[in-house]
Amino acid sequence: MENNVQNIELINNYLNKTLSEEVLKVFENRLKTDEVFKTQFDEHVILIEGIKRQTLKIEIKKAKQFYTKNKWLKYFGFGALILLIIWVCFNLFSSKQNGLGDTLNFESDFIQNYQVAVDSIVEIVGVKGTLVRFNPKDLEMLSGATFSGDSLSVEVIELTTKQELLFANAQTVSHGKWLISGGVFKIDIKSNGKSLLLKDGKTIDVKFPKKTDEKEMQLFYGERNNLNRMNWTESKIKFLDEEKYYTIFYRDTSVIDKILTKRYGVDCFKEVILIDSLGYLTLNDIKAKYPEIKSFENQKDTLRILKRFVYEEIHEDYIEDDVGLRKTDSTRIELVKREDFNKVWQWSENIDDLDVISEKVAETYVNYTNQFYKSVKISKLGWINIDKYSKEDNMSNVKFNFNIKTDYDEVFLIDERNNTILNVYDKEFNIPKNRSFYIIAIGIKGKEMYGYKKSVRFNANQKFRIDYKKITETQIKSILTITL
Amino acid sequence: MNDKKILELFKEGQREKAFSKLYSLYPKIESLILSKGGQKQDASDVFQEALIILNRNLEKSDFKLTSSFYTYLYSVSRFIWKDAQKKFSKEELKNFNVTEVEYFHCVLEEKKYQRAELAFIELGNRCQELLRLFYHKAMSFKEIAKMMQFTSEKIAKNQKYKCLAKAKDIYKTSKMLQS
C-alpha cells in the first residue's frame, strides 16, 4: 500500500510538472518499461479526468445560464429599443399634432380668475352668472395632503355659445355620440398654483346659467386627450324640469296705515328677500344658514312665498295657521298668515299691494328659473358640460379629401342649429341630412398652414373635397369665427 | 465573437466565458438533435459532452483545431448522438475518413472518463469533496486538513488515498461489467 501511495504521489507530481529533470527521466523511462506502473498511471489519469468532468459540467452549466440570461437580456433590450423608437415616433407625431391642437385652442381667453379666502364658505359668481359655492375644508391636494395658505385661486371658464366652444376647442362628443350643449364650464381651484381635488364624498354647489331651451339636459364631466380633444362622460346628474325647486322668503308689513304705525315706532317692511336663490338648500339648510329666519317667522306680518317642493316640506309647521292659499300657477304657492290675511282682507285697498308684491316675487322667481338650471352638487372639478344626446337618425355619409396633402389636419363640424361641435377624426363622417353645418379645417404641412371654411348641407351620401388655402397663424381665429 | 477570440479565452484559462460564447451555437445543435428524433434534454446533454471533448482536446498540446468551432461541435455532436443511439453500421465505421475517425475516437475515449466520473459520483460526499479540493483546487493537504477538519495533514493524505482507491475499485468493477 505504501508503495502505491508513493506511486500516486509520483504520478501527481508528474502531472503537476513538479518533478526534477532527473526524476522525470526516470519516470518516463519507467512508464515505458514498467507495465504495472503504466496501468496504474493510466487508471489514475482516467480517474482524474473523470473527476474533472464534474468541474467542467459545473462550468458549462454556469456558462449556459449566463448565455440564456444574456440572450433574454438582448431580446428584452431589443424589445425595449423597439418600444422606445415607437414611443419616440408616437410622441413626435403627437407633439406635432398636439401643437396644432394648442394653436387652435383659445381657451385661455375665457379664463376668469378669483382670489378667495379659505376661512369661510366661498361663493363666486362668474361673468355669465355661474354660481359656485364650496367649503375650502372639502378640498385637498392631489396627493391627499392638506393644502397650505390662507387664499385660493379659483379659475372659472364659461362657454355658452358655439363660437366660444369652437374657440376653446371644446367639441361636444361623448364617446363618439353627438351632444347638444347647454354650456361648457370649467372650475379649477388652486392653492399655490397647484390644482386641488374634492375630498372623497364631498361636493361643491354650482348653479349654471341656462342658455338654451333644450329640455332634459344632463351633466357631463370632460377630459382632454393628449391631442387636446375633448371627450365628455355622462354623470348621474340630470336637469329635469319637474325637479326644479326654488325658495323665496318675502316679508312685508300688512300694517296699512304706514304713517300711523311709524308714529307708534313700528317699522314697515317692504322688501323681497331672496334667501335661497340657488334653490339647492333644504329647509334645515336655510334655517342654519339664515338664523334671522327664526325671528322673521315670528313676525305676524310675514308673507312667505314658496316653491311647491319646499312648501310640502314645511307644510306641517304652517298649515294650522295658514288660511289663504293662493295658487297662482303650477309652480308657485303663496302662504299668507291668518292675521295678515285678515288684515289685508279688512282693508281692501291693501289687497292690491299684496298682489303687486306677489307678482313681483313671481316675476323674479320665473326669471330665475328661466335663467338658471337647478343648482347641483358636483363631485369633480374641471370640465363640466350641460348636454343632451343629439338624436339623429336620417344621416348622410360624407367622405372627404383634401386638395393638399398636409402633415396634420384638424377638421371641425359645427351644427348651425344646435350647440354641437365635433372634431372629425377620420376621413369620413355621418351627418344629419338637410341640415346646415359649418366645416372648418386647418392643416399644417411643414411650416405652412392651410385653412378652409364653408357652410354645407348634405342630403345624400357623397364625397366632399376640402380646398385648402394657405393662411398665416394670425388668420386662424378668423377662420374659426362663424357667422351666426 | 469570432473563433479566434474564443480560442484566446480558452488559452487564458477563461473557460467559463469561452463556453458561454460557444453556447450561441447551441440552437443549431439543438435543431440537429431534434431533427434526429432527440428531445431538448438530449440536445442539451449532447452539446455538453461536445464542449467537454472540445475542452479536453484544446488542452492537448498536439491538438490543432482545423475547422471552425461550429463545424467541430456540430460534427462531434452528431457522432455523440449517433453513438448514443448505437446507429453506426459496420459499413459506416469502415468508411470513416481521417477526421471522422478522430471524432469517433474522441467520443469513445470520453466514455472512459464518463465511467470514471460515475465512479467518483458513487463515492461519499466527503470523499468527493476531498478529491475535488486536491485535484481541482490544487490545495495542499495542510489546507485540506484544516478545511475538512482532519486532525493532521497525514490523515488527510491517507484519507485521500483511500478515496482514490475506492473510486478506482468502482471504476474497475464497472469497466469489467461493461466488457
| Chain A CB within 8 Å of residue B48 CB | yes
Give pLDDT, residue B43: 92
Assess B117–A contact: CB distance below 8 Å, yes or no. Answer: yes
The cell for A29 is 523511462
pLDDT for A86 equals 82
Q: What is the mean pLDDT of residues B145-157?
A: 89
Q: How far is CA A53 from CA A343, B64, B110, B135, in A?
A: 120, 22, 10, 12
pLDDT tens, residue by residue, A53-112: 988 898 899 988 888 888 888 888 888 888 888 887 666 655 656 667 677 788 888 999
Q: What is the pLDDT averaged over residues B132-161?
A: 88
Shortest distance between the Cα of B91 and any Cα of chain A, in A, equals 31
| Mean pLDDT calculated for residue range B70-93 | 85
**A47, A52, A63: residue with CB nearest B164:** A47
A252: β partners: A270
- Partners of A62 on chain B (C-beta within 8 Å) are 16, 20
CB spacing of A59 vs B168 below 8 angstroms: no
- Write the pLDDT tens digit of every residue in A128-185: 888 888 999 999 998 889 998 889 999 999 998 888 888 888 888 888 888 888 888 9
Which residues does chain B have within 8 Å of residue A56's beta carbon, measured at their own beta carbons?
A: 15, 51-52, 55
DSSP single-letter state for residue A238: E
Q: What is this model's ipTM?
A: 0.89
CA distance A426 to A321: 68
Buried b / exposed e across B15-54, counting CB within 10 Å, b at 16+? bbbbbbbbbebbeebbebbeebebeeebbbbbbbbbbbbb
A&B contacts, CB < 8 Å: 96
Count of Cβ atoms closer than 10 Å to residue A161 Cβ: 14
Measured between CA atoms, the residue of chain B closest to residue A45 is: B113
Which run of H or of E encompasses A15?
helix A2-15
Best mutation site among A3, A47, A57, A59 for testing chain B: the one with the most B CBs within 10 Å?
Answer: A47
Question: Rounded to a whole number, what is the distance in Å from the CA of A380 to chain B's nearest CA?
Answer: 58
Helix segments in A180-267, DSSP class H: 258-263
User: How far is residue A131 CA from its own chain's centroid?
Assistant: 19
Give pLDDT, residue A351: 41
CA–CA gap between residue B44 and residue B80 (Å, rounded)? 12
pLDDT given for residue A171 in this prediction: 84
pLDDT for residue B54:
92
What integer pLDDT is reported at residue A452 of this predicted model? Answer: 93
Mean pLDDT of B58-74: 85
Cross-chain residue pair A63–B19, CB shorter than 8 Å: yes
Res A395: pLDDT: 85
In angstroms, the CA A183 to CA A223 distance is: 15
Q: What proportion of chain A, given as a percentage, has pLDDT over 90?
A: 13
pTM: 0.49
Beta carbons of B161 and A46 less than 8 Å apart? no
**Are the beta carbons of A46 and B164 separated by less than 8 Å?**
no
Q: Is B114 on the interface with A (CB under 8 A)?
A: yes
- pLDDT-based confidence at residue A15 (cuts at 50, 70, 90): confident
B15 in reach of chain A (CB within 8 A)? yes
pLDDT at A12: 85
Which three three-digit cell numbers place residue A401? Answer: 379629401
The answer to whether B116 contacts A57, with C-beta atoms less than 8 Å apart, is no
Q: Using CA atoms, how far apart are residues A466 and A462, in angstroms rounded to an integer?
A: 13
Residue A117: Cβ within 10 Å count? 10
Mutate to test the interface with A, among B1, B19, B49, B174 (most CBs of A within 10 A): B19
From A88-102, A375-389, B6-20, B75-89, the region with the lowest mean pLDDT: A88-102
Rounded Cα distance, A69 and A267, in Å: 94
Check CB contact under 8 Å for B112 and A46: yes
Specify the amino acid at residue A260: L
Q: Would you call B52 and A59 a contact, using CB atoms and an 8 Å cutoff? A: no
pLDDT above 90: residue B51:
yes
Which letter, b or e, does each residue of A21-50 get, where b requires 16 or more Cβ atoms within 10 Å of its Cβ? eeeeeebeeeeeeeeebeebbebbbbbbbb
pLDDT of residue A1: 57
- Chain B residues in contact with A63 (beta carbon < 8 A): 16-20, 22-23
8 Å CB contact of B24 and A67: yes
Residue in A closest to B54 by C-alpha: A56
Question: Residue A178: which residues within 8 A CB-CB, separation 6 or more?
Answer: A172, A389, A390, A392, A420, A422
Residue A310 CB contacts under 8 Å (≥ 6 apart), including other chains: A245, A246, A247, A283
Question: Considering only alpha carbons, which residue of chain B is nearest residue A41?
Answer: B168
Q: In angstroms, rounded to a whole number, what is the distance separating the alpha carbons of residues A229 and A359?
A: 47
- Say yes or no for a CB contact (<8 Å) between B119 and A47: yes
Instruction: List the alpha helices (DSSP H) in chain B.
Output: 3-11, 15-22, 26-35, 40-59, 69-84, 90-94, 98-122, 125-135, 141-148, 153-178
Q: Give start and end residues of each alpha helix (H) in A16-34.
A: 21-33
pLDDT on residue B35: 92
Contact A63 B121 (CB under 8 A): no
Q: What is the mean pLDDT of residues B115-121?
A: 89
Does residue A242 or residue B54 have the better pLDDT?
B54
H-run or E-run covering A353:
helix A349-371
Query: B77 or A104: which carries more pLDDT confidence?
Result: B77
